[in-house]
Amino acid sequence: MNKKIRLSPTFNAILLVGISLLMLIPFLNILAGSFSNGQAILQGKVTIFPVKFTLDNYIAVLKNVAIWKAFAITVWTTVFGTFMSLLFTSTMGYSLSKSHLKGRNIIIIMVIITMIFPAPLIPTYLVVKAYGMLDSLSALILPSLISAFNLVIMISFFKGIPQGLTEAATIDGCDEFRTYWKIILPVSLPSLTTVGLFYAVGYWNSYMSAIIYLRNPNLYTLQVKLRQLIIESDAGSSASGMLMSVEGIKMATIIIATVPILLIYPLIQKHFIQGAMLGSVKG
**Of 261, 228, 235, 240, the residue nearest 57 (C-alpha):** 240
Supply the mean pLDDT for the chain: 80
pTM of the model: 0.78
Q: For residues 280 and 211, which has the higher predicted lDDT (pLDDT)?
A: 211
Q: Is the pLDDT of residue 88 over 90?
A: yes
| 174 pLDDT higher than 60 | yes
* 8 A C-beta contact, residue 121 and residue 212: yes
82 pLDDT tier (thresholds 50, 70, 90): very high
List domains and CATH numbers for the chain: 54-282 (1.10.3720.10)
Output 1 or 182, whichever has higher pLDDT.
182
Give the tens place of pLDDT for each residue, 206-233.
888 889 998 888 888 888 887 877 776 6
Count of CB atoms situated within 10 Å of the CB of 278? 15
Whether the pLDDT of residue 155 is over 80: the answer is: yes
Phi, psi of 209 (to 5 degrees): -60, -40
DSSP state string for the chain: --------HHHHHHHHHHHHHHHHHHHHHHHHHHTS-HHHHHTT--SSS-SS---HHHHHHHT-HHHHHHHHHHHHHHHHHHHHHHHHHHHHHHHHT-TTSTTHHHHHHHHHHHHHSPPPHHHHHHHHHHTT-TTSGGGGTGGGSS-HHHHHHHHHHHHHS-HHHHHHHHHTT--HHHIIIIIIHHHTHHHHHHHHHHHHHHHHT--HHHHHH---GGG--HHHHHHHHHHHHHTT--STT----HHHHHHHHHHHHHHHHHTHHHHHHHHHHHHHHHHHHH-
Q: Please count the other Cβ atoms lying within 10 Å of the Cβ belonging to residue 27.
A: 15
The model's pLDDT over 130-140, given as tens digits with 9 standing for 90+, comes to: 998 888 889 99
